[in-house]
Structure formats: C-alpha cells, structure tokens
Amino acid sequence: MFEHIQRVPGDAILGLIEAFKNDPRSRKIDLGVGVYRDDKGDTPILPTVKDAERYLVEHETTKSYIGSHGAADYGDLVLSLVFGADSEVLAQQRASLTQSPGGTGALRLAADFLRTNLSPRRIWISDPTWPNHIGIFSAAGIEIKRYPYVDDQNHFVFDLMLEALRQIPEGDIVLLHACCHNPTGYDLSREQWQAVLEVLRERRLLPLIDMAYQGFGHGLDEDAYGVRLLADNLDAMIITFSCSKNFGIYNERTGAFILVAGNKEEMLNIRSQAAITARENYSNPPAHGASVVSHVLGNDALRQQWVSEVTEMRQRIRSLREQLVNALDAHGLRERFSCVLEQNGMFSYLGLSPEQVDYLRDEYGIYMVRSGRASMAGLRSEQVEDMAAALADAVKK
Ligand code: PMP
C-alpha cells in the first residue's frame, strides 16, 4: 500500500537545530529558529503567563469542550488587542474571531474558508516569505503567485511591490505581513500602508494579513497600524493572529482567525462558516493557552505587566541590532549592514549568499538558514563582537 511513497528531506530549520546541538564548539551561535531568547540564551515562561497558569490550576473547574469558535472572552480580548479598544470596526460589530491552534492553524482555517466560500483562483505572497505560507495555501488548492519584496542587494523594493499589486486581477487575495516581516524584517511605513490600501480598494483585492509578531516591532498599537487602517476602510479582510511570540506560549498553540465584513449581518454569516471550517479541521481548539491569554489581558495589573514584558523583549532585540551594527562599524561595515537597523522584529535578512552562510557555520559555528535570515534574539550581548568579526570575514569571501 505505501510502497510508492517517497521519503522527503526534513525541515531545514529542524536540521539546523540538530546540527547546532551536535556542534561541540563552545562559542557557537544559534541564529536559526524563530523563538525569542533572553541574554542568557533561554526562552523562559513570561512571569504573567506563570501567574495565569497558577490561577488556572486553582480555579479551573472543567476541561470540557469550548466550542468551535473557542472561548468568548478570549475572542473579545484579542479583538481589542488587534483593533484597539475604541475601534469603530468593533463598535459596528463587523469583526469575528475564531480561536485557532496557533497562527499556523489560523492560516489553515483561512485557506480552507477561502476555498470553500470564495473559490479564489490565486493568492499573492511576498517574495520571500515564511515558507509555510506556500505550503498551507498550496495544500488547500489555492494557486500561489508572488510579488517582489527585496532585490538582490537586499533592499526593500516597495515601488516594485506596489506596481505588482496594481497588476493583480480583481478578486484575488493578497497576503501581507502586519509587522516584523518574516524573513526580511522590512515593514511598510504608514504612507506605504496607505498606498497599499488604495490599490486594494481600486483593484477589489482581498487582503489577508498575517500578524504573528504584534509588539515585537515598534509597540502593540504601532504594529497594528496597517491592520487597523485596512479594517477601517475596507469591507472585507482576513487576519491570522498568533500569541506564540508575544506571550511566549509557542507550544500552547494559541492564535486566532479573524474575519472583517461590511456589516454585522454579513459578519454573522461568514462567522457561521468559520465555525464549520474549524469543526471540519479539529472540532474545538486547545483551551489552555487561550485561558492564559484571557486571564492576562482581562486583569488590569497583569495586562500592564505583560505590556512591560513585551516591551522588554522588543527592546532587547532592538538593542542587539544596535550593538551589532556598532561592532560592525569597527570593521568599516556600518553602511553594508545598515539594513539591520531598518529591519524590525525577530528576523534580519543580512544579504549573505548561501556560501557565506555555510562559511559562517563551518568556520565560526554561527548557524542561520541559508537565505541569510538571522534570528536576532538568538544572539547574546557577549557574542556580538565575535559575530561582527565573523561577518566581516564572511563578506570578504
Ligand atoms: N506567520 C508567520 C509570519 C510566522 O513567522 C509564524 C511563526 N514562525 C507563524 C505565522 C505561525 O505562528 P504559530 O507558531 O503561532 O503557528
């Protein structure tokens, strides 16, 4: 029965984790996986999350199913995190949230929802993007098309992106990253979001915004600028949201599939379809991570503390970017790596060739994916000088 099934290579990032683990060099640096690390190299549980978990152990009374849309309080709290507490979209009841197993689960719901309800021909995705975008939408039978995002010189090419969006046939879907673009770290400015909005409106395109890093770029509200602008001005959009990074609950699989409609009636219609999509995939979402998020966001003191925790994570990454570029300055490479300061969030596209990435790994024990994407949070302050010296050597190759 299974004789014809071929073995496929394992995930590149998992391979990288394994190779890093087996590297005996003590000065090795892991810039591969997209998980936040503190300056000791740990991915600790946030204190607010621990508090919430203690509370839940004491007070949770049942493990019964929570329904296909998930917990209602989680839905309300996450909607106001995404759109802002005084959002018109929320006041008009145009937005629906379905709790999902992580941001990945939300993307899969989006793909299935689209295929079932709109039969879209194509989805347009930035080149490059998070590779799973391609996998998820292809698996749902939606054709993948690309729009340019960076050029060979590692510059963000917004003009080319906009030009490409202008050519997209009416009714197609456009996937945008809300902030902290994975893998490049280049984000749209406010003016650029405005320009995209105009093209989406003119061409009648459906935006799907992937929001996996709210709070990691410039701040919780700042990072939602594009999402809020589009939702305020369009009568149809999709947002896929992840709590993995900003709550540090990667393995609790907590996310949200958000639909924005033109009015409440339409929202209720598409919301009923979202429930079916969820039911057909996994019935009910996992509850624990969402209970944690609700407890933190629903309690003023804990919420404030969480905002500080997110700020600390964001500032640590920002500071590493500055430290690295300052250290590169000593090698005459400030200009060459100025992109590191322009980029936001966890990732930085360094503009390295695959050979230079291999060289860094072989010579210095510095691990990153072959596209030259570095996960900045993997760096510790004490490693910055080593990293700069290694980069200076690698770019000479
Ligand atoms: N979208 C993007 C752009 C991501 O980088 C990630 C996580 N790497 C996700 C979605 C999925 O997040 P989750 O772990 O919550 O499934």
ipTM: 0.99
Q: Is there an atom of ligand 1 within 6 Å of 255 CB?
A: yes
C-alpha of residue 24 to centroid of ligand 1, in Å: 30
Q: Is there an atom of ligand 1 within 6 Å of 210 CB?
A: yes
Q: Is there an atom of ligand 1 within 6 Å of 182 CB?
A: yes
Quick check: is 396 catalytic? no
Q: Per-residue confidence of the chain (397 residues) as pLDDT tens digits?
A: 999 999 988 887 888 888 999 999 999 999 998 899 999 999 999 999 999 999 999 999 999 999 999 999 999 999 999 999 999 999 999 999 999 999 999 999 999 999 999 988 899 999 999 999 999 999 999 999 999 999 999 999 999 999 999 999 999 999 999 999 999 999 999 999 999 999 999 999 999 999 999 999 999 999 999 999 999 999 999 999 999 999 999 999 999 999 999 999 999 999 999 999 999 999 999 999 999 999 999 999 999 999 999 999 999 999 999 999 999 999 999 999 999 999 999 999 999 999 999 999 999 999 999 999 999 999 999 999 999 999 999 998 7
Q: Is there an atom of ligand 1 within 6 Å of 130 CB?
A: yes
Q: Is there an atom of ligand 1 within 6 Å of 386 CB?
A: no
Catalytic residue among 30, 112, 124, 130: 130
Q: Is there an atom of ligand 1 within 6 Å of 351 CB?
A: no
Q: Which atom of ligand 1 is nearest to the CA of 243?
A: 15
CA atoms within 13 Å, Cβ hemisphere of 35? 15
Residue pair 392/363 in contact (Cβ under 8 Å)? The answer is: no
Q: Is there an atom of ligand 1 within 6 Å of 346 CB?
A: no
Which residue, among 344, 80, 52, has the nearest Cα to 219 in the 3D structure? 344
Quick check: is 245 catalytic? yes
Those residues whose C-beta lies under 8 Å from the C-beta of residue 308, and which sit 6 or more positions away, are: none
Q: How far apart are CA 291 and CA 77, in angstroms?
A: 11
Residue pair 231/237 in contact (Cβ under 8 Å)? The answer is: yes
Q: How far apart are CA 20 and CA 56, in angstroms?
A: 36
Which residue, among 167, 168, 186, has the nearest Cα to 177 in the 3D structure? 186
Q: Which atom of ligand 1 is nearest to the CA of 254?
A: 15
Ligand 1 pocket check: which of 104, 125, 136, 177 to mutate, most ligand atoms within 8 Å of Cβ?
104
Peptide bond into 24 cis (omega under 30): no
Cut 0.95: pTM above it = yes
Catalytic residue among 210, 223, 306, 386: 210
What residues are paired with 262 via a beta bridge? Answer: none
Q: How far apart are CA 91 and CA 142, in angstroms?
A: 33
Ligand 1 pocket check: which of 13, 36, 132 to mutate, most ligand atoms within 8 Å of Cβ?
132
Catalytic residue among 51, 187, 193, 245: 245
Residue pair 387/327 in contact (Cβ under 8 Å)? The answer is: yes
Q: How far apart are CA 126 and CA 285, in angstroms?
A: 29
Domains and CATH numbers, the chain: 12-45+312-394 (3.90.1150.10), 65-298 (3.40.640.10)
